[in-house]
Amino acid sequence: MTGLSGSGKSTLMNILGCLDRPTSGRYVLADRDTSRMSAGELAIVRNEQIGFVFQSFELLPRQSALKNVELPLIYAHGGWGSRRRRARRALERVGLGDRMSHRPNQLSGGQKQRVAIARAIVNGPAILLADEPTGNLDSTTTEEIMELLEQLHDEGQTILIVTHERDVASHCRRVIWLTDGLVSSDLPSEEDPAVREHRLRHLAEIEEAARAAGDSTHLITAGDRPC
Amino acid sequence: MLRLLVHLQAIVLALSQIWANKTRSFLTTLGIIIGVASVTTVIAALTGLKTSVLNEFETFGASKMFIFPDRPDDAPRNMYPWREIRLKIPELQALNENCPSIRQLTPITNEGANLQFRDRIREGVNITGIWPAWHEIENRSVIMGRQFTLSDEEGAHQVCLVNDEAIKELGLDADPSGQHILLNGRRFLIVGVVETLQASIFGPQTTSSEVFIPFSTMVKLKDPQFFFFVIAQVVSPEAAEEAKAEATFVLRKSRGLDATEPNTFEIAAIDQFIDQFKAMAAGITVIAGGIVAISLLVGGIGIMNIMLVSVSERTREIGLRKSVGATPIVILMQFLLEAITLCFMGGLVGLACGEAFAFAMTLPEDSPLEEASIPIWAVVLSFAFSAGVGVIFGMFPAVKAARLDPIEAMRHE
């Protein structure tokens, strides 16, 4: 999901994530109308159906990676006995099996976001909502995180990414453009003109880089930032 | 079950929060600590004082009763002339014979007199006229020589008993029996020595010279309308009410009072004084309770303040917890439990301080607060009170946290 600032990305994301309720219309998630749910009911839906990944990670600073990942399970129905095991498995899935007892300040940005992703998937959500998941990361780490998300997607996880980076958007199967609060385009990424253009340029860059690598050490800066 | 586990988690969370902010938590709970420490200390001191005073009453004689003439309130003076209402010796004999709940009694009267032995003179010494029953009633036996005999009383003999202090002051022999002293110029034979009165909370704080003479001898020395009262010993403390009723009946009968007339005498049992003292102690407890309530209130406001700070600096964390599925009620419980735990721990530390103070009070030798200790009800009450303060003052910040909008909270810097 992409669009310019103020186009309504965050609002739609909040509604989809059951953090907010629509002022009009209905949002049906897994056959349940969430529009009239109380704050408590919405919290349970978030716990069971939604996993959040935020731009600024939002990890509890004083707690280990494992404790951070356990957080949603504390508020979950059942599964108290298997809490630690499930958190561990989630951390292994994101490739942090060797960083479980590290605190956020002992982890790099990419590792922090991996912990956040592990926390988002630990309760097996229907949708993983990622709000600018790579906004605070450099390009190399961005690639790593996108690979991880792609890998989760291949394993069957539905992922919704809110981004204004075409580079990130080009990883997705479907691209939704929002303009002034309305969906202006909703196409598979192969057909989305902006993504297409980006991919072509990206390919060209890679070719040029390959040529440049022949005679000199030329650094490639990946990704453009239209906004 | 889930609820329980979530709340268990909340307690662990609260404890870890408190531990993470040790200094702040300590300073915050200081109000509660001081409040609880002061109330428990005051109550411990009062308990100790009460125990020692009641013990004092006990040795003083919980089974003692005082009878004295008393003109009825509002009655005209001429209606009950003094010579009619003053106690008379035949009345005492009637009381002795007709009141089964009264074990024994003695009239008692005091007089200041000048004492002389050889060239030593002591002025204003307290002379007491007694019957021999006095020794047992006041628990002051004759340690040397003999008590007054029936013939001493009936013959109004000029005999006397003295205490150690009088022996010292007049320079009498260690066993003065057989020596003579002048009492207002009259020659009295010393027949024995009476145990010296111990200094106590009631009565004299220092011992002084005392001389005792038979009551009938005193009657001869004084003007015929003199005042005296009666100390009676009841068979047991429980029989005090009965003894009072019996004595009232006997005296009314001997004075020929009809049913419409008021008593011309007053009977006071020692338990009245005990009741008065207990009422006073209860009053002090209530006042102390009020002061403590105020200090706990102040402490509670401190807790509320720090909890509000805690909520505001952890707004993002609250937002995150909500976004991963914490319901408002769980957040509420988390903060409420933190406030309660703070107060509870303050109560615990305060109680420990109070316990230490109470122990310190018992240490000095001859401490009047030897028995100072914190009664169970005070322990329970102070805990209940601190927890209550936690609930009341923790509620507002907790509700504030629970009501936070997750989106707003996550944007908070």
pLDDT confidence of residue A222: 45
pLDDT of residue B202: 53
Contact A76 B9 (CB under 8 A): no
Tell if the CB–CB gap between A75 and B325 is shorter than 8 Å: yes
Whether A227 maps to a domain, the answer reads no
Q: How many CB pairs lie under 8 A apart between chains A and B?
A: 55
- Take residue B150 and report the two structure tokens written for it: 């029936």
Tell me the average pLDDT across A138-146.
89
Residue A47 placed within a domain: yes
Give domain status of residue A198, yes or no. Answer: no
Show me where the domains of chain B are located.
2-58+274-411, 64-270
pLDDT on residue B224: 75
Indicate whether A115 pLDDT > 90: yes
Q: Which residues of chain B have a CB within 8 Å of the CB of A40?
A: 327-329
Low-confidence ranges of chain B (pLDDT < 70): 1-7, 58-62, 75, 77, 197-207, 271, 366-368
According to DSSP, the residues that pair with B207 across neighbouring strands are none
Q: Is residue A202 part of a domain?
A: no
**pLDDT reported for residue B6:** 66
Report if residue A209 sits inside a domain.
Answer: no
Distance from CA of A47 to the nearest CA of B (A): 4
Chain B interface, best mutation among A12, A58, A115, by max B CB count within 10 A: A58
Residue A207 C-alpha, separation from nearest chain B C-alpha, in angstroms:
42
Query: Range of A37's domain?
Result: 2-188
For testing the chain B interface, which of A57, A75, A129, A162 should be mutated: the one with the most B CBs within 10 Å? A75
- What span, in angstroms and rounded, lies between the C-alpha atoms of B336 and B197? 60
Give SS3 for A179: strand
Domain count, chain A: 1
CB contact (8 A) between residue A78 and residue B328: no
User: Average pLDDT for residues A27-44, to the nearest whole number?
Assistant: 88
Average pLDDT of the residues in A127-145: 89
pLDDT > 80? residue A163: yes
* CATH number for the domain that contains residue A110: 3.40.50.300
Q: What is the pLDDT of residue B59?
A: 65
The verdict on a CB contact (< 8 Å) between B321 and A75 is yes
Examine residue A218 and state whether it is found in any structural domain, yes or no. no
CA distance B289 to B221: 55
Which chain A residues are within 8 Å of B321, Cβ to Cβ?
71, 75
Strands B186-194 and B159-163: parallel
Report CA-CA distances (Å) from B38 to B30, B34, B105, B284, B352. Answer: 12, 6, 46, 13, 11
ipTM of model: 0.83
Q: For A72, name the nearest residue in chain B, comparing CA atoms only.
A: B324
- pLDDT tens for each residue of A94-109: 888 888 889 999 999 8
Is the model's pLDDT at A19 over the cut of 60?
Answer: yes
**Residue A194 domain-assigned (yes or no):** no
Instruction: Look at residue A219 in the predicted model and tell me its pLDDT.
Output: 46
What local confidence, expressed as pLDDT, does residue B139 receive?
A: 79
- The rounded distance, in Å, linking the Cα atoms of A122 and A89 is 8
Positions of E strands within B20-136: 64-69, 102-117, 120-130
Interface contact flag, B320 A14, Cβ < 8 Å = no
To the nearest whole Å, the CA of A152 is away from the closest chain B CA by 19
The answer to whether position A212 is within a domain reads no
| Residue A84: both structure tokens together | 């630690």
Given the structure tokens 């969906």, which residue do they identify? A183
Facing residue for B407 by CB, picked from A14, A44, A74: A14
* Predicted pLDDT at B200: 55
> B329 and A40: CB-CB below 8 Å?
yes
Task: Note whether A179 and A7 are within 8 A (CB).
Answer: yes
Q: Which one is predicted more confidently, A218 or B92?
A: B92
Selecting from B320, B327, B407 the residue whose C-beta is nearest the C-beta of A43 gives B327
Check CB contact of B317 with chain A, cutoff 8 Å. Answer: yes
